[in-house]
Amino acid sequence: MGVGEAGEPSDGPLRVALLSYRSKPHCGGQGVYLRHLSRELIDLGHTVEVLSGQPYPDLDREEITLTKIPSLDLYRDEDPFRTPALSEFRDWIDVLEFAHMKTGGFPEPLTFSLRVLRALRARRGDFDVVHDNQVLGLGNLGITRLGLPLVTSIHHPISVDRRIELEAARGLKQKLGKRRWYGFVAMQSQVSRRIGPVLTVSESSKVDIVKDFKVDPRDIEILPLGVDTRVFHPRGERVPGRIVAMASADAPIKGVDVLLRSVAKIATERDVHVIVVSRPRKDGPTEKLVKDLALGERVRFAGGISDDELGELLASAEIAVVPSRYEGFSLPAVEHMASGTPLVASRAGALPEVVGDAGILVEPGDVEELASTLRRLHDSAAERERVGAAGLARVQQRFAWPAVARATVEHYRAAITEQNYRRLAAAPRR
């Protein structure tokens, strides 16, 4: 155990349970965070067990234990919103999950939290601390009752995604559908106020968590994310006219529509093309926009590529863009800068905080300003060199995964100490 009798944390290795309801890196920043943090914790000498639902994570060390907490996997890529066979239903949580999905909701945070609480209840002596990677389900409220210290990461409150998607929705039916889908946000808000210490990635995210979830700011600590410089680093020659963005193509919050409209404006006068690291929905809004803008071969989407392929792609670009309407942190921004690629990013959410003066900031949603900035960078090799060098220097100074892991362990030890004092205080007087 990682705690001494007096309640002070020992300096010995900890047994960490990392919880994540969907953890594949292509699911977004939560999967990337889990992958890198688990690796660095192992390298610091701690024991790590990842408890995850589908899609399961890619993990970098054989020493990391993956314990699968299977759902009905209702959103698998090849068969989304599927109807499982009767034989697939195992218990009442499966029934709840399916019923929730069929009525238009997103059940995974709730049902994963119930399943993982059941798993932890049977193994409460196996861990020194539990780290929740933004599940925030009702089951999480039972974890500390098991005597397990809990630390929670909230990368940004999903209430922001909900607000932006509702603004983009057209018609009453679509708006009602979005409200139902994001119904889990109310649960996450309630749980976040009751689970103790929260780690978040930026001042901007902290403000939004306090504003939207009403969490006491004294319970929130800011701990920026890191970048894997083994993958993301400059690699030599760049492809003329290449613009790269990493963003979920069909999510309005990511601003891919703004990027495509901006590229369409300059493509008539400049030899440029854009690669978006994402897989848009077939016949979805992004594919339709590409056709409407007649971009044709000027746009390519790259989904499901390996880490090394991604590193090579980012380092091959002349310009990188993060056109988001909001970001709680933006690992892609840091990865672009680590690649030495000059970065253009929206002045939105935490992006100004992350990018600082090492990139060019533009107004979110402003097609004209983004097009003008891309045109200027495309025409000036000297400015591209200056901005790329500034971004690389900022990453080297500020963003490193080993430092993130060491700081996270200190938060683990603080949570263990607090839980131990609570246990001692609750014990009968002798």
Question: Are 42 and 64 within 8 A, CB to CB?
Answer: yes
Closest by CA position to 209, among listed 246, 154, 250, 171: 154
- Please report, for the chain, the start and end positions of each structural domain, with discontinuous segments joined by +: 15-226+401-426, 242-398
Lowest mean pLDDT across 17-26, 133-142, 179-188, 248-257: 17-26
Same CATH topology for 15-226+401-426 and 242-398? Answer: yes
**15-226+401-426 fold:** Rossmann fold (3.40.50)
Q: Give the three-class secondary structure for 377.
A: helix
- For residue 106, is pLDDT > 90? yes
Confidence band, pLDDT 50/70/90 cuts, at residue 6 = very low
- What per-residue confidence (pLDDT) applies to 426? 78
Element (H, E) at 135: none
- What per-residue confidence (pLDDT) applies to 422? 81
pLDDT tens digits for range 374-387: 999 999 999 999 99
Token pair of 151, please? Answer: 């630390």
% of the chain surpassing 90 pLDDT: 80
Residue 168 one-letter amino acid: A
Tokens 């193509």 sit on residue? 249
- Cα–Cα distance, 370 to 375 (Å, whole number): 9
- What per-residue confidence (pLDDT) applies to 259? 97
pLDDT tens digits for range 170-218: 899 999 999 999 999 999 999 999 999 999 999 999 999 999 999 999 9
- What per-residue confidence (pLDDT) applies to 429? 73
- What per-residue confidence (pLDDT) applies to 7? 45
* Half-sphere exposure in the Cβ direction for 308 (13 Å, CA): 0
Confidence band, pLDDT 50/70/90 cuts, at residue 248 = confident
Per-chain mean pLDDT for the chain: 93
- Cα–Cα distance, 194 to 141 (Å, whole number): 7
Confidence band, pLDDT 50/70/90 cuts, at residue 314 = very high
- What per-residue confidence (pLDDT) applies to 28? 61
Q: Which residue has the higher pLDDT, 361 or 77?
A: 361
pLDDT tens digits for range 268-285: 999 999 999 998 988 899
Closest by CA position to 262, among listed 250, 280, 274: 274
Per-residue pLDDT averaged across 320-331, rounded? 94
- Number of other CB atoms surrounding residue 245 within 10 Å: 26
Q: CA 178 from chain center: how many Å?
A: 20
Q: What is the 3-state secondary structure (H, E, C) of 145-178?
A: HHCCCEEEECCCCCHHHHHHHHHHCCHHHHHHHH
- Number of other CB atoms surrounding residue 244 within 10 Å: 25
- What per-residue confidence (pLDDT) applies to 158? 94
Per-residue pLDDT averaged across 19-26, rounded? 81
> What are the φ/ψ torsions at residue 296 (nearest 5 degrees)?
50, -125
Is this structure's pTM higher than 0.85? no
- What per-residue confidence (pLDDT) applies to 14? 97
135 Rama sector, left if φ>0, alpha if ψ -120 to 50, beta otherwise: alpha
Confidence band, pLDDT 50/70/90 cuts, at residue 25 = low
- Cα–Cα distance, 367 to 355 (Å, whole number): 20
Per-residue pLDDT averaged across 337-365, rounded? 96
Q: Name the range with the highest mean pLDDT among 20-24, 88-92, 163-167.
A: 88-92
pLDDT tens digits for range 48-102: 999 999 999 989 999 999 999 999 999 988 888 999 999 999 999 999 999 999 9
- For residue 427, is pLDDT > 90? no
- What per-residue confidence (pLDDT) applies to 242? 97
- CATH no., domain 242-398: 3.40.50.2000
- For residue 342, is pLDDT > 90? yes
- For residue 417, is pLDDT > 60? yes
pLDDT tens digits for range 126-163: 999 999 999 999 999 999 999 999 999 999 999 999 99
- What per-residue confidence (pLDDT) applies to 8? 47
C-alpha dist (Å) from residue 409 to 59, 236, 237, 297, 414: 19, 37, 39, 48, 9
- For residue 364, is pLDDT > 70? yes
